[in-house]
Amino acid sequence: MPLPRLCIVVPCYNEQDVLPITAPLFVQELVDLEEKGKISPQSCVLLVNDGSADGTWGIIEDLSKSDARIQGVSLSRNRGHQYALLAGYTVACQVADIAISIDCDGQDDITAMERMVDAYMQGNDIVYGVRSDRSSDSAFKRGSAELFYRIQHAMGIESEFNHADYRLMSRRALSALLKYHEANVFLRGLIPLVGFSSTTVEYVRHERMAGESHYPFRKMLAFALDGITSFSIQPIRFITFFGIIASLLSFVGMIWAFVNALLGNTVSGWASLACLVCFMGGIQLMSLGIIGEYVGKTYLETKRRPRFFIEKMTPRLRGEQRAASGSVTSDGASTKRD
Ligand code: UDP
Ligand code: MG
């Protein structure tokens, strides 16, 4: 079996502080793996510029000029981490046999890649990087992440515990993933749906090497909501169930109110009535919100908008893509030339 060609896919958004530190580390890992005879010498690091507003793309261009192993694509605007990854996977699927996605901030242990490649050679199409220790994350981030995984599992969504977006995928797993055309992309939930044989590799998560996190609480919450509502209709079922219970209870309440009115005690019921009205109002608003979330998702899906556009590529990558007889313009759709 020939040595697999590896493409390390790295989404980068406003990462001018950390990229010059981590890019050489990714290249070093490629060199090490090559020397150990585990991957092909044609392997590369693919830096995906997700519409950064700082000097990230300039740095990517310079890096690719100084090192033949570094290649880059630039999206036409900021599309968010998940779409940036998808863009990287789309290109990797054309130029490599396996892709490993990793954040560019150095938080994930780069040396775990060797074990991932080994697991691939043993016949796994997907290898999930799983954090064995999150002590570098704040107690709040750890706690909220754990709660999120538990809620997801309670809702029947398969996802790997403590796995972020550090994973290896074979070309056939990637091309299967690219056949999912949904607009609400939550890769951690989507990839287990693809199937194929998979395994996990443990690693220790570190602190960011430089720069700041792009996931403040507000974004994390939105991401978590997407992660649930993109895969499960349990919350709507829960509302229906709750609605039935509330209706039964209010039926009892009506009888109680009617009896009280007959007995001439009506004024004294004000407080309990007010409580009931507030409670039911809250429940109704929450229910409408959850239903609205799904209606909104359906609305976004029906538009079938392209998920990203690639605006620029480093020259070498352009050449390789031509050799692969197609070029990626958007959304994984390959446009044949000639
Ligand atoms: N990222 C991206 N687009 C965005 C936000 C983030 O491509 O709109 C990238 C970012 O450059 C990094 C990765 O996604 O490589 C994870 O982001 P970050 O480290 O800020 O998240 P955290 O690790 O704090 O959850
Ligand atoms: Mg990070």
Q: CATH number, domain at 47?
A: 3.90.550.10
What pLDDT, in 10s, does the model give residues 80-124?
999 999 999 999 999 999 999 999 998 899 999 999 999 999 999
Q: Is residue 338 domain-resident?
A: no
| Percent of the chain residues past pLDDT 90, beyond the cut | 46
Among 122-126, 213-217, 223-227, 306-310, top mean pLDDT goes to 122-126
Shared domain for 37 and 145, answered yes or no, is yes
User: 81 in a domain, yes or no?
Assistant: yes
| Average pLDDT estimate for 45-53 | 96
Q: Is the CB of 327 under 6 A from ligand 1?
A: no
> In angstroms, how far is CA 146 from the centroid of its own chain?
16
185 and 287 in a single domain? The answer is no
At 212, is the pLDDT very low, low, confident or very high (cuts 50, 70, 90)? confident
pLDDT at position 16:
93
Least confident of 21-35, 70-84, 248-262: 248-262
12, burial (CB in 10 Å: exposed 0-12, middle 13-18, buried 19+): buried
Residue 1 or residue 51, greater confidence: 51
Whether the pLDDT of residue 326 is over 50: the answer is no
Query: Does 148 have pLDDT greater than 90?
Result: no
Which ligand sits closest to the CA of 165? 1
**What is the 163 CA–ligand 2 centroid distance (Å)?**
13
Same structural domain for residues 96 and 122?
A: yes
81 lines ligand 1 (CB under 6 A): yes
So what's the pLDDT on residue 299? 79
Ligand 1 center–CA 54 separation, angstroms: 14
Within a domain: 1: no
Distance 233 CA to ligand 1 centre (A): 28
Same domain, yes or no: 132 and 179: yes
Indicate whether residue 215 lines ligand 1 (CB < 6 A).
yes
pLDDT of 129 higher than 90 = yes
Structure tokens that stand for 335 in this block: 């446009």
> Is there a domain that residue 251 lies in?
yes
41, pLDDT greater than 60: yes
Q: What is the pLDDT of residue 236?
A: 80
Same-domain status, 217 and 285: no
Q: Does residue 95 lie within any of the structural domains?
A: yes
Higher-confidence residue of 90 and 254: namely 90
Residue 194 near residue 159, CB atoms below 8 Å = no
Whether 262 and 152 share a structural domain: no
Q: Is the CB of 217 under 6 A from ligand 1?
A: no
Mean pLDDT, rounded, of the chain: 85
pLDDT: which is higher, 280 or 200: 200
E strand spans, the chain: 6-12, 44-49, 70-75, 98-101, 126-133, 163-170, 198-204, 310-313, 326-330, 333-336
Asked if 85 and 9 count as a contact pair (C-beta separation under 8 A), the reply is yes
Of residues 88, 305, 75, the one with CA closest to residue 184: 305
- pLDDT for 323: 65
Domain of 268, in residue numbers: 234-303
- Same domain for 203 and 284, yes or no, is no
pLDDT interval class at 327 (50, 70, 90):
very low
Calpha distance 21→16 (Å, rounded): 9
Check pocket membership of 145 for ligand 1, CB cut-off 6 A: no
Which of 131, 214, 223 for a ligand 1 pocket mutation test, highest count of atoms within 8 Å of Cβ? 214
125: CA distance to ligand 2 center in Å?
Answer: 25
pLDDT digits (tens, 9 = 90+) for 271-302: 677 777 777 877 887 788 888 888 888 878 88
Count of domains observed in the chain = 2
In percent, the amount of the chain with pLDDT more than 70 equals 92
Cα separation of 130 and 162, whole Å? 5
**What is the per-residue pLDDT for 65?**
92
> How far is residue 95's CA from residue 92's CA, in Å, rounded to a whole number?
5
User: What separation in angstroms does the CA of 235 have from each of 46, 124, 145, 242?
Assistant: 38, 34, 19, 10
Indicate whether 181 belongs to any domain.
Answer: yes
| More confident site: 22 or 240 | 22
Model confidence at 308: pLDDT above 80: yes
Cα of 208 vs centre of ligand 1, distance in Å, is 11
Helices 81-95 and 315-323: angle between axes, nearest 10 degrees: 60
Residue 337 domain-assigned (yes or no) = no
Residue 59: is its pLDDT beyond 50? yes
Residues 275 and 127 in one domain: no
Ligand 1 pocket residue status of 136, Cβ below 6 Å: no
**Angle, vertex CA 220, rays to CA 18 and CA 299, nearest 5:** 115
Same structural domain, 106 and 126: yes
Is residue 56 located within the same domain as residue 148?
yes
For residue 47, which ligand has an atom nearest its CA?
1
Which residue, by CA, sits nearest to atom 1 of ligand 1?
81
CA atoms of 154 and 150, how far apart (whole Å) = 6
* In-domain check, residue 56: yes
Q: CA-CA distance, 147 to 92, in Å (whole number)?
A: 33
User: Ligand 1, residues 60, 105, 142: which to mutate, most atoms within 8 A of Cβ?
Assistant: 105
Question: What is the CA(248)–ligand 1 centre distance, in A?
Answer: 47
317 and 294 in a common domain: no
Question: Do 107 and 152 sit in the same domain of this protein?
Answer: yes
The whole-number pLDDT of residue 287 equals 83
Residue 9 Cα to chain centre, angstroms = 14
